[in-house]
Structure formats: C-alpha cells, structure tokens
C-alpha cells in the first residue's frame, strides 16, 4: 500500500466507520494515533523493547503475534491485518506477551498508551466501539480455542481459512471474493491451530480432494464455501456488532 502524503487515508478510521459513524471530532482523535509511522521488513520481529509503552496501528501488511515454548515449538496467537491495533493486550500488563512478527513487509503507526486516555476521556462512543472490538477479538480467540481443542486437523485448517476470508471480506472487500492470498507459511498456519506443517499440508490436500477449496502458491480459492461452512458449522463473527447500546456522539 502506498502512503498518502495528505494523510487522507486512515485504515483505522476506515475500519471503525464500518461499524458506526465517526464524528469529525472523533476522527481527529483517531488520526492522532497515526501521526508517526515505521516500516518493517517481512519476517522481521517487531522489537517491543524499542517501543515499550507503545501500541501500533497497522497501516499495511500482515503481522502475527506468537510465543515460543521451546526451541522447536511455538504458538501463533493472532493475525494482524491493516486497520488493526496491535498491542492492546499488552496494555494491561507490564511485560509484553509474546512477539510480533511481520509476515509481509508492513507499515505501522506507533503511539503511546497515554493516547488511549484521550479517547477514554473525550469520546465515550469511540470507547464503547474499541471496547466492543476488543470483545470481538475475544470471541475470535474462543472460536480458535474451540477448533484447536475439539476439531480434526482438516476441519481446523478449513475453519482457519474461512475465518481469514470473513475478516478480509469486511476490510478489503474488493480483493476478496471466494479467494485471497495468504502470506503465511504452512508452518505458521500450523502454529496458529496446533498442527505441524506436515499436517497442514495433508489437510489442504484432503480439502482439495474433497472439492472444497484449492490452495496453491499461497492463494486460497474456495470452491464450495457454503457447503464447507455448513460442514464445520462456521459462524462469521466479523459481520456485525451490536451498537445500539452505545452512548450518543
């Protein structure tokens, strides 16, 4: 993605506008979060030490956070897409949980925790939205818990791909319609859903054999998406949230 020098494009504002109207005043609050930006190369770790006390808005690229268990084992916790705020979970803690790695080259906007204050004190409506999106993230984690804890390897991979598709569909609808590029190695996918790269590969072969989808060169193409959703009882969590109870602007 190309930077717009007029700062006319804010992924974050754009993302939030999907859910509620954003007043000019609120928009100014949000743009303050994107005043600075840094670039990061693909496969590089985001060094939290350099940016302690910082949160990040993702302007472009994919990232993911993970924890290492030992030399040979890690768990990928979350995928971060453009418009996401990275590091909110560290807000609560003094030390950071896991590491953030760039899956592609990426541009981030760092901002200090203190800027959350401004939002909390000045815009109850934005606060409610950010809070709700945090809860939505929790729901996604719980879905992940469910698939890792209780589903077969094939179903886990299917669910994971459908989840990504659902998410992209909202925030990059033009690029995504039954197919999308996934800049993750099969090892990273496995680390996200509790499998080895070998099992992921086998699962993809199986899904293709069964006619549900095709995955080639990091491009996923669904063939029978509805049938697949039904088979694994997939629910799209991203589509809408309940904003009726939000404070007025």
Partner DNA sequence: CGATATCTTGATTATGCTCAACGACAGTGG
Partner DNA sequence: CCACTGTCGTTGAGCATAATCAAGATATCG
User: Rule CB under 7 A: which residues touch DNA?
Assistant: 43, 72, 152-154, 185-187, 190, 194-199, 201-202, 204-205, 215-218
The whole-angstrom separation of Cα 41 and Cα 27 is: 29
Which of the listed partners (a copy of itself, DNA, none) does 63 bind, with a CB threshold of 5 to 8 Å by partner kind? none
Distance CA 106, CA 8 (A): 19
Q: Which of 2, 6, 50, 114 binds a copy of itself (CB under 8 A)?
A: 114
Using the minimum distance from each CB to a copy of itself, give the nearer residue, 107 or 166: 166
99 binds a copy of itself, rule: CB under 8 A: no
Beta strands 213-216; 219-222: pairing state? antiparallel
Cα-flanking dihedrals φ and ψ of residue 211, to 5°? 80, 15
In the region spanning residues 193 to 212, those forming contacts with a copy of itself, defined by CB under 8 A, are: 193-194
Burial class of 163 by CB neighbour count within 10 A (0 to 12, 13 to 18, 19+): buried
Q: Tell me, what DSSP letter sits at residue 33?
A: G
Q: Which residues touch 205 (CB under 8 Å, ≥6 apart)? A: none
Helices (H), 9-60: 11-17, 24-31
Q: Which x/- pattern, by CB under 8 A, does the window 5-44 give for a copy of itself?
A: ----------------------------------------
Cβ–Cβ < 8 Å for 178, 225: yes
Q: How far is the CB of 33 from a copy of itself (least distance, A)?
A: 14
Q: Which is nearer to a copy of itself, 209 or 245 (CB)?
A: 245
User: In sequence order, what are the residues at sequence separation of 6 or more whose Cβ sits closer than 8 angstroms to the Cβ of residue 157?
Assistant: 189, 193, 195, 200, 203, 204, 207
- Is 85 or 192 the residue whose CB approaches DNA more closely? 192
Among 121, 174, 209, 226, binds a copy of itself (CB under 8 A): 121
Partner touching 139 among a copy of itself, DNA, none, CB below 5 to 8 Å by kind: a copy of itself
For position 92 contacting a copy of itself by CB under 8 A, the verdict is yes
Give the angle subtended at the CA of 227 by the CAs of 225 and 228, to the nearest 5°.
60
Q: Which residues bind a copy of itself (CB under 8 A)?
A: 53, 67, 69, 73-75, 77-78, 88-94, 97-98, 112-114, 116-117, 120-121, 124, 127-128, 130-139, 141-142, 144-146, 148-151, 191, 193-194, 233, 237, 240-242, 245-247
């Amino acid at each position: 993605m190309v930077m717009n020098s007029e700062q006319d494009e804010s992924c974050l504002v754009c993302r939030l506008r999907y859910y509620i109207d954003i007043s000019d005043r609120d928009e100014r609050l949000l743009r303050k979060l994107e005043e600075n930006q840094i670039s990061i190369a693909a496969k590089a770790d985001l060094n939290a030490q350099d940016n302690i006390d910082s949160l990040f808005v993702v302007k472009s690229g994919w990232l993911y956070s993970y924890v290492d268990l030992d030399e040979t084992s890690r768990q990928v916790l979350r995928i971060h897409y453009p418009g996401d705020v990275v590091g909110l979970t560290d807000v609560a803690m003094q030390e950071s949980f896991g590491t953030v790695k760039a899956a592609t080259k990426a541009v981030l906007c760092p901002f200090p925790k203190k800027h959350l204050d401004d939002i909390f004190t000045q815009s109850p409506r934005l606060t409610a939205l950010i809070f709700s999106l945090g809860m939505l993230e929790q729901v996604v984690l719980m879905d992940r818990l469910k698939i890792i804890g209780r589903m077969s390897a094939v179903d886990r991979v299917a669910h994971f791909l459908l989840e990504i598709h659902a998410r992209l569909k909202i925030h990059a609808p033009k690029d995504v319609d039954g197919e999308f590029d996934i800049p993750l190695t099969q090892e990273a996918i496995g680390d996200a859903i509790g499998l080895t790269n070998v099992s992921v590969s086998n699962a993809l072969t199986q899904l293709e054999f069964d006619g549900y989808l095709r995955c080639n060169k990091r491009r996923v193409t669904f063939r029978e998406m509805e049938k697949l959703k039904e088979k694994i009882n997939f629910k799209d969590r991203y589509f809408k949230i309940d904003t009726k109870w939000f404070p007025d602007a």
